Structure 1
Amino acid sequence: MTNTYLDIKKNILEVALGRTNDRIAMIESALETARDSSNDDTKSSAGDKYETSREMIQQDINRYQGQLLEANKDLMQLTNIFSAIGVETDFVKLGSLVKTNLGLYFIATSIGALKINDKNVFVVSAGSPIGQLLLGKKCGDSFLFNRLNQTISELY
């Protein structure tokens, strides 16, 4: 693996880890605020209004807990990818940097397009439509995505 592409992978992972940690902090803050609202909510004379309010707050808490679980899974996945960053492979898998005739793709978590070392890289999850198309493919394999035929020229 050339140093340039190893550097790109490291930079992508640093950005992805930073964004994921930021996302976790925001979710934890929102969850804390929702819990505080639930604890501060006092029963009013309008009982139905109180119950509706408590239920809405509980739904928010449940949603934030689900988001936090997913964000922590992403963080663990990114950490695992980072620990295996220099391992070479003959096929596309989680953590692969894939060069095609139309661009660069990094299989990790869904972040979207990033500009790293003057190169545009699409950071996609393995579960995304393009991620599913790429998984298991090798150099020289072709695939059709959004009516565009792409051929894998290099894997890092």
Structure 2
Amino acid sequence: MNKAEILKSVHDKLSEKAVYLEKLIDETRAANNETKSSMGDKYETSREMVQQEINNLQVQLNDVLKKLESLRTISDKPSQKVERGALIQTENGFFYISVSAGEIVRGGKKIFIISPESPLAQAMKGLEPKQSFVLNGKQNLIENIW
């Protein structure tokens, strides 16, 4: 498994989401300005709802930007144990510990991108290949770490 490619895929996925959110914010602002100029004060409530939507989108964008910043500090060097930046293969799949970003597919395999603070990452923290951990009452085996 090539961790540099995985890191780039996660970065690309988050960058695309940031661009999408910025576009949505711009479009929503433009719609809000049109409403403001053409409808008068009687539509104050709908304008407030649009503003709340803009605020919600901005919160999401800020979260994505924080994740992108966090990715810049992750090394693609091989890991010997479960830690931030490690790619882990368990009997239940592949997990890349970096930021919470859903999943990507690389080489025909699903890789779940998880935060170091996630319960799964916490349960595996510091373990090495062939060691097991318990999560939700189930024993799991770490097969490999990159």
| TM-score bracket relative to the smaller structure | 0.7 to 0.9
Residues 15-67 of structure 1, C-alpha deviations (whole Å, 9 max, x = no match): 2111111100111011111222232223746x4x4221121111011111111
- Would you say 1:24 and 2:15 are equivalent positions? no
Q: CA 1:42/1:93 → structure 2, altered by over 3 Å: closer, same or farther?
A: same
Partner residue of 2:83? 93
Q: Structure 1 length normalisation: TM-score?
A: 0.77
Report what 1:64 is aligned to. 57
Q: Which residue does 1:42 correspond to in 2?
A: 37
1:11 aligns with 2:1: no
Report what 1:153 is aligned to.
143
Out of 124, 127, 134, the position equivalent to 2:117 is 127
Deviation at 1:69, TM superposition (A): 0.6
For residue 93 of structure 2, what is the aligned residue in structure 1? 103
Q: Is the 8 A contact 1:126 1:132 kept in 2?
A: yes
Displacement of 1:94 in angstroms is: 1.6
User: Does the residue aligned with 2:83 lie in a helix, a strand or coil?
Assistant: coil
| Partner Cα distance (1:97, 1:91) in 2 | 9
Between the aligned residues of both structures, percent identity stands at 30
Q: Is the 8 A contact 2:91 2:142 kept in 1?
A: yes
Whether contact under 8 Å (2:14, 2:101) holds in the other structure is no
Query: What 5-or-longer segments of structure 1 have no aligned partner?
Result: none
Q: Give the match's secondary structure for 1:80.
A: coil
The alignment covers a number of residue pairs equal to 145
Deviations 1:88-137 (A, max 9, x none): 44432221111223332111223334332243322222233322322333
Q: Any conservation in 1 of the 2:21–2:57 contact (CA below 8 Å)?
A: yes
Q: Give the secondary-structure state (helix, strand or coil) at the position aligned to 2:126.
A: coil
CA contact (8 A) 1:43 1:50 kept: no
Q: Is the 8 A contact 2:79 2:85 kept in 1?
A: no
After superposition, the CA RMSD in angstroms is 2.3
Q: What is the CA distance between 1:140 and its match in structure 2?
A: 4.0
